Structure 1
Amino acid sequence: MRKKLLALAAVGLMATATMTACDDSGDSGEASSGGSTSKISGGGSGARVGVILPDTESSNRWRDEDPKYLKAAFDAQKVPVEIQNAEGDRARFQQIGDQMINSGVKVLIIANLDSASGRAVLAKAREKKIPTIDYDRLTLNGGADYYVSFDNVKVGQLQAYGLINCLRSRGAKNPVVAQLNGSPSDNNAFLFKEGYEGPLTEMYDSAQYTKGPDQWVPDWDNEEAGKIFAQMLDGTPAIRGVLAANDGIGNAVIKVLKQKKLNGTVPVTGQDATLEGIQNILTGDQCMTVYKAVKDEALNAANLAIKLYKNEKPTVPNSLKDPESGAYVPFISLTPKAITLKNINDVVVTDPYIAEDALCKGAYLALCRQHEVGSFADEKASDDEN
């Protein structure tokens, strides 16, 4: 079934996005927001943990959050780490893997760009008897020793129920719902879709909703997502709900809706609780996102790697079946959380993933005050007491 879905996804792609790799001269040891520097931290030789991240375009997390939390976790235990980003280039991903494997890494963590390139890196690590951890994305038939991620089917379910709630609150009658799925090269995209297809199919089968266009977005490319949705809307102007697989795709959809003066009218989902996504929720242009606590994910992966680095045997009670190989991979599964306008403070105050001073400025300052975000909730409570 999965192979059929992969084939259908490949046929359904409207274009193939090309992402340009950085050159090899970026060894300054600092991450660059422009993507010109791929080495984020650590040295290039000797006993250490190696980490390869996928890109800096599909989600800001890969540029801003994961490297920060991973480095902090390793630094706290005084374990040397080298973190590099492949900048969306599969050849570059494998090149980084070769360099790390041949220069003495004791443990390798990868968040793959696709299963083929990820599998190649894992195979070479296995030849050298280097323990491996799939991070966030499972490498199908890759044989990683461990896997750390979220319950990604649950992520999709949260997106579907979020969209259903938003449409219900608007009193939508048999709305046409468009679906923009993630990249067909990312196993997580299939898990998200598995999660949201169930609740949405119930709505289609009961004639409460009408199924609209359904497309995959190659490499999670936000610019391509905008082009795909513009064509969807031109072909199906009656679209009144959009299941967008992450905040980047959601924002691309919102830009198109703004051109048609439909933003805020057509609910759009997201995922990753990015600053941009939370800002879109404040303005009413996005109805929800899904928060995946990157800090927890990074800490769990780092703790596994640190034990392996110290030649200890980690205990992981749960496992996940690889749908291609049939093998069971020891799996640390983390719980995602839906974020709407009502509980934005869960990611600003309770678990400060989004900095209030970054969110509540400029045009968003008044909205933060209106919706009692962060310190404005305390300000409102103080005014009520007086």
Structure 2
Amino acid sequence: MRRAAVAVAAGAMAVSLAACGSAKESKDSSSSSSSSAKKGDDIKIGLLLPENKTARYEKFDRPLIEKKIKELTNGKAQVEYNNARQDANLQAQQVDTMITNKVDVLIVDAVDAKAIQNSVQKAKDAGIKVVAYDRLAEGPISAYTSFDNTQVGKTQGEALLKALGDKAKKSTKIVMVNGSVTDPNAKQFKDGAHSVLDGKVTIAKEYDTKEWSPDNANSEMEAAISSVGKGKIAGVYSANDGMAGGIITALKSAGVKVPVTGQDAELAGVQRIVSGEQNMSVYKSYPQEADVAAELAVALAKGTSLDTIAKDKVSSGSATDVPSIIVPVVSLTKDNIKDTVIKDGIYTVADICTSDYKAACAKLGLS
């Protein structure tokens, strides 16, 4: 198993997405760094993250990106930050503010990957390059970094089948609770999971959860239990840990205990894995992704080439051959907590093994 903490290779993995943008637009975005006047360390970078319901953005992404930018610029770069709180209109306003403030580069994790297109175009028209972070934003972006999102879904689906064991038959019923339709990653997770699960089990109910909301996932799970029957659900595919929490609450209320997947290795998710309430999560090395985003942004701001940083290319519905770096992922289970999130310094044993989890931690040798 590959650990997510290894250094990211510049030519990590190729990602193929639907491409129907113009060649000219692609050429403009991919060559923008070389056509800019070169700058020193005194640069201004805008950072826009999508929401704060998922713990990762404020706990990991923001501080890690800011730290790496400072390291790369001898502390001279200025980082302007905003969180859109899952509001695409608010994020559009935040882009306008960044343009007014004349940032050199924007790092944007889009609330709505399609709705952000006009804002990305505005930024380009103002001479501001955009790094699409974690989600492939539409528009003339200059660079992109994320994880292998289809592999995330495959990893989740494979873990669920493994947990089902002999119960993994065509007649076995599971529930799928996917992420938001406004997030292109959610579709890739979903497609990856379907590629593994289809034909192996029966998907009795499937939901696309608005705004990745744990509360919505809880309601959807309650509806699935009522519709399918609590004794007939063998497992649940949950696209991330936050929703898994809402799903598990609904299952507990109904007296049902079945394998549930997750993603993001949130602390609460890791603790549920320790206690046996959640089967797995997908550990994505946020330090790697954050470092890559910072490196791309600083290079673009300084007007230097991305050729030695990003050797992969991706395409969206509006841009082709965007310089990209794709970061690998790891299936996180109770068997490798020590070798992943603890070893990588994401959490300490004390963070995970609070009073409610001490006994379960002891059984796993976490002390």
Q: What TM-score bracket applies, with the shorter chain setting the length? A: 0.7 to 0.9
Query: 1:47, 1:104 within 8 Å by CA — same for their partners in 2?
Result: no
Is the counterpart of residue 166 in structure 1 residue 147 in structure 2? Answer: no
For 2:262, the aligned partner's letter is G
Could you tell me how far apart the structure 2 residues matched to 1:328 and 1:303 are? 19
Distance 1:355 1:68 in 2: 18
> Counterpart in 1 of 2:244?
250
Give 1:285's aligned amino acid. E
- Alignment match, 2:350: 357
- Measured in 2, the distance between the counterparts of 1:319 and 1:106 equals 23
Residue aligning to 1:68: 63
> Counterpart in 2 of 1:202?
199
Superposition deviation, residue 95 in structure 1: 1.1
How far apart are residue 187 of structure 1 and its match? 0.3
Distance 1:356 1:105 in 2: 40
The residue aligned with 2:315 is: 321
Q: In the TM superposition, what are the counterparts of 1:235-246 in structure 2 within 5 Å?
A: 235-237=227-229, 238-246=232-240
Partner of 2:52: 56
1-side partners of 2:294 and 2:319: how far apart?
26
Partner of 1:260: 254
| Structure 2 match to 1:41 | none
Q: Distance in 2 between matches of 1:359 and 1:150?
A: 25
Q: TM-score, normalised by structure 1?
A: 0.80
Structure 2 distance, partners of 1:83, 1:312, is 23
Given the alignment, which residue of 173, 177, 180 partners 2:174?
177
1:231 CA displacement: 0.5
Q: Which runs of 5+ in 1 are unaligned?
A: 4-45, 204-208, 377-386
Which residue does 1:271 correspond to in 2? 263
Is the Cα contact below 8 Å between 2:262 and 2:281 reproduced in 1? yes
The amino acid of 2:277's aligned partner reads D
Task: Indicate conservation of the 8 Å contact 1:110/1:118, yes or no.
Answer: no
Superposed CA offset, 1:173-217 (max 9, x none): 6420110110001000011011111110131xxxxx222101100
In structure 2, how many angstroms separate the alpha carbons of the residues matched to 1:109 and 1:152?
19
The equivalent of 2:97 in structure 1 is 99
* Equivalent in 132, 137, 140 of residue 139 of structure 1: 137
Equivalence for 2:122: 124
Under a length normalisation based on structure 2, what TM-score does the superposition of the two structures give?
A: 0.84
* Letter aligned with residue 100 of structure 1: M
After superposition, the C-alpha distances for 1:295-336 in whole angstroms (9 at most, x for unaligned) are 1000000011111222212122111121x2362221110001
Structure 2: tracts of 5 or more residues without a match: 1-16, 19-41
**What displacement does 1:69 show?**
0.5
Instruction: String of CA shifts for 1:98-155, please: whole Å, max 9, x gaps.
Output: 0111111000110000023321221111101211100000013x22111100010000
Q: 1:43 is matched with which residue?
A: none
Report sequence identity in percent: 32
Question: Aligned residue pairs: how many?
Answer: 320
Residue type of the alignment partner of 1:49 = I
Question: How many Å separate the matches in 2 of 1:333 and 1:69?
Answer: 18
Alignment partner for residue 218 of structure 1, among 193, 201, 210?
210
Cα distance in 2, alignment partners of residues 326 and 102 from structure 1: 25
The aligned residue for residue 30 of structure 1 is none
Query: What one-letter code is carried by the residue in structure 2 that aligns with 1:178?
Result: V
SS for the counterpart of 1:253 is helix
Contact 1:148 1:301 in 2 (8 A): yes
What CA RMSD, in Å, does the superposition of the two structures yield over aligned residues? 1.7
Q: Where has structure 1 moved over 3 Å in runs of 4 or more?
A: 170-174
Separation in structure 2 between the aligned mates of residue 297 and residue 259 of structure 1, nearest angstrom: 37
Query: Which of 168, 189, 193 is residue 192 of structure 1 equivalent to?
Result: 189
Check the 8 A contact 1:347/1:354 in 2, yes or no.
no
